[in-house]
Amino acid sequence: MATVFSTAYAGTGESLSSSYYMRRFYTGNTNARTAASRKQYSSSMLSQADAHALRRAIKSLGSFSYDSDHSTNIRNSVSAFIDTYNNLLSSAGSSDDRRMQQTYKSIKKLSSEYEKDLDKIGITVKSNGTLEKRDDLFANADISKFEKLFSGDSDYMQRISSYAKRVEKRSEILDIEEKRAALLKQAEQNAAVSGIDTASLVPSTGEPNTGIGNNVNVVL
């Protein structure tokens, strides 16, 4: 999944809502934004969509000039970043995959390292690792404090982006494995109905183990 992003909308002439930024971050995966629609995604597809959206959020925040002309859009973009970040923690944290769990724990640990800096602009790191905005301080904190955490040069953003990329790549692999397993299960069920020996669905010795039998024709 290639990351294509335009920063033209981050201008000084218009104040854009956090909902607008969320829609931009989840471009191509709009249903992954809302709790009701997220249920239609598999675990791997959801974490992939969240990781991709978080990387877009980080790129958006890195495109701003951190001055008073952009303060409203910066705060609204950070608000959308928080929601996207929390989505990723939820989807990655619910995975049974060991590598995903490791990355999930690394992201939580990273935010705990920056807990004091986040607190200064009204963002609380909760015990479960999610971020929560405290509106009064968030709306009035100096924009230079946002720059320290969310600009393109921020160590915090660069490290989260690296973890998000890791989640995205691992999710792609897990999604392929889940689809292969589902196809094999369906093939075995069809074979059982037809009276075919299910052993013929397993690749013979020496062949690459694709998870799909040699005698099953499947179109992905």
Every domain of the chain and the residues it spans: 18-174
Angle at 143 between CA 83 and CA 68, to 5 degrees: 110
φ, ψ (nearest 5 deg) of residue 131: -105, 145
φ, ψ (nearest 5 deg) of residue 109: -65, -40
Spatial distance between the Cα atoms of 97 and 114, rounded to a whole number of angstroms = 27
pLDDT (tens, 9 = 90+) of the chain, 220 residues, equals 444 444 434 444 689 999 999 999 999 988 898 888 898 888 899 999 999 999 999 999 999 999 999 999 999 999 999 999 999 999 999 999 999 999 999 999 999 999 999 999 999 999 999 999 999 999 999 999 999 999 999 999 999 999 999 999 999 999 999 888 878 887 887 887 876 665 655 555 454 454 444 444 444 3
Spatial distance between the Cα atoms of 95 and 220, rounded to a whole number of angstroms = 24
Those residues with Cβ within 8 angstroms of residue 126's Cβ, 6 or more apart along the chain or in another chain = 132
C-alpha R_g of the chain? 21
Integer CA distances (angstroms), 130 to 62, 115, 147, in order: 21, 11, 21
Minimal CA–CA distance to 43: which of 181, 138, 153, 158? 181
Question: Structure tokens of 181?
Answer: 């397993």
φ, ψ (nearest 5 deg) of residue 67: -140, 175
Spatial distance between the Cα atoms of 69 and 156, rounded to a whole number of angstroms = 24
Helix (H) or strand (E) holding 106: helix 98-113
- pTM as predicted: 0.80
SS3 content of the chain, % helix, strand, coil (to 5): 65, 5, 35
